[in-house]
Amino acid sequence: MQTHLSAQDDDMWYIITDGPMKIMKANTAIAITEGAPQMIEKHRSEWTTEDKKKENLDIVARDILYKTLDKNMFSKIKTCTTTKKIWEKLTQLCEGNDQTKENKLMVAIQKFDSIKMKSGETMNEFDERFSSIMIELNSLGKSYGKREVALKVMRALPREWDVKTIAMRESKVLNKIELHDLFADLKVYEFELGLRIE
């Protein structure tokens, strides 16, 4: 069962990257003395049940893609006639050309450089906002060192966090701390701050 699913997944990916499958057979009308036989397209009347499934995979793959798209995106690909064409159009729309990618990267870097914790924002909310920028940067091929990321988070915090951020800087853990661990630590401090204020 597992092998069949894997083969079907391979066939599905082939359809996305190379287009609909042609159902082929060896040409027995030509004698082959050495090497592989010449392949020709099978007539529909010769198709087996397996051949029919393979031929139908493009329709299945298109249906899967259609179901994942919102109305706006669907309207941009609805004229595409094969899964391969849909995939190429989606790649172009989502990734864009080199100039588009460069522009997206510049915007993401600006978001990173200018991020500040908002008044009334919880550490959970700030964590989500900051992490989404990091994911965007990583997807565009931009990465920062752990220390640089940790310092950016701490500089983005309001003044009431100064005691905590100074202590963290002096502890010299910034080169090793993962982003999720840093935010976990800050969330504990936020909770303690709340208790003191009450």
Q: What is the pLDDT of residue 2?
A: 41
Q: What is the pLDDT of residue 1?
A: 37
- For residue range 119-143, list pLDDT tens digits in order: 999 999 999 999 999 998 998 889 9
Domain limits, the chain: 2-95, 98-197
The pLDDT mean for the chain works out to 84
- For residue range 95-104, list pLDDT tens digits in order: 666 777 888 8
144 vs 54: which has the higher pLDDT:
144
Q: Which long-range contacts (CB under 8 A, 24 or more apart) does 95-98 make?
A: none
156 vs 65: which has the higher pLDDT:
156
Burial 45-80 (b: 16+ CB within 10 A, else e): eeeeeebeebbebbeebbeebeeeeeeebeeebeeb
User: What's the pTM?
Assistant: 0.54
Rounded Cα gap, residues 169 and 155, in angstroms: 11
User: What does the block give as tokens for 72?
Assistant: 């706006």
Tell me if residue 4 falls in helix, strand or coil.
helix
